[in-house]
């Protein structure tokens, strides 16, 4: 209550939105909103994983064969890159927490660079699938003797990794704005929620890949594992 003058000045600078009483309330609301949003993201990808699970159970042979077409080494490299990007993002959040805006911005740029590496590699993988005629609907001529339902595996492969890539793209766009604001000192020790929410989002995108990678690349045998 004693801080009503301080509250008024925060309202005046726009740092505190008019409908909040304290910075703390504003931060907690933003964090809660972000977590609720991530819950809906879990359900979105959850739907996809369910479809994967059902078709994997119905057509184990096709899914085992499909995963053999995916290069495990490339996937492993990309997984490492993405986990690395989560590290730089986590460090960026830490820097923002400490009020080191410029450092935070640089770390976000590093995260962007790693994300671009991931997407570049993914693009090369996609082009190989195109070259091998393994793109259902557009260019689909699997080798003779391929499983009749191989198309389902690849349709899901493209939808799942495509949705993931789309989320990365959205993350990249957000990073441009947050990094610029961080560089200009737009975040303070008390108010760094923009970076924190971006971090939460990015870790979620990372986490989705942690599930996609084994499901698509590693589970070769119908029952799972070798």
Question: Residues 179, 105: contact at Cβ < 8 Å?
Answer: yes
Size, binding site for other proteins by CB under 8 A: 39
Secondary structure of the chain: what % helix, strand, coil (to 5)?
A: 75, 0, 20
Interacting stretch for other proteins, rule CB under 8 A, among 36-44, 100-108, 117-125, 217-225?
Answer: 36-44
By beta-carbon proximity to other proteins, the closer residue of 25 and 188 is 25
**Binds other proteins (CB under 8 A): choice among 3, 6, 9, 37:** 37
Question: Residues 69, 132: contact at Cβ < 8 Å?
Answer: yes
**Binds other proteins (CB under 8 A): choice among 28, 76, 127, 133:** 28
Q: Which tokens belong to 177?
A: 């704005």
98 lines the binding site for other proteins (CB under 8 A): no
Instruction: Please list every residue from 144 through 183 that binds other proteins, using CB under 8 A.
Output: 148-149, 151-152, 155-156, 159, 163
Q: H or E segment at 182?
A: helix 150-183
Q: H or E segment at 138?
A: none
Question: Residues 104, 95: contact at Cβ < 8 Å?
Answer: yes
Binding site for other proteins (CB under 8 A): 17-20, 25, 28-30, 32-33, 36-37, 39-41, 43-48, 50-51, 54-55, 58-59, 62, 136-138, 148-149, 151-152, 155-156, 159, 163
């Amino acid at each position: 209550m004693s801080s009503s003058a301080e509250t008024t000045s925060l309202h005046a600078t726009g740092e505190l939105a008019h409908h909040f009483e304290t910075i703390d309330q504003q931060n907690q609301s933003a964090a809660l909103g972000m977590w609720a949003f991530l819950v809906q993201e879990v359900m979105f990808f959850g739907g996809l994983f369910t479809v994967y699970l059902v078709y994997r159970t119905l057509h184990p042979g096709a899914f085992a064969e499909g995963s053999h077409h995916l290069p495990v080494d490339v996937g492993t490299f990309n997984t490492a890159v993405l986990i690395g990007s989560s590290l730089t993002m986590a460090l960026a959040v830490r820097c923002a927490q400490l009020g080191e805006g410029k450092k935070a911005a640089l770390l976000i740029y590093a995260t962007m660079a790693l994300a671009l590496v991931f997407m570049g590699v993914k693009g090369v993988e996609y082009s190989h699938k195109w070259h091998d005629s393994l793109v259902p609907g557009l260019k689909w001529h699997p080798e003779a003797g391929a499983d009749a339902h191989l198309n389902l595996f690849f349709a899901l492969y493209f939808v799942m990794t495509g949705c993931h890539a789309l989320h990365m793209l959205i993350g990249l766009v957000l990073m441009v704005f947050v990094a610029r604001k961080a560089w200009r000192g737009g975040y303070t020790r008390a108010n760094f929620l923009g970076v924190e929410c971006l971090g939460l989002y990015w870790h979620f995108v990372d986490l989705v890949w942690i599930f996609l990678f084994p499901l698509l690349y590693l589970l070769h045998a119908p029952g799972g594992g070798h």
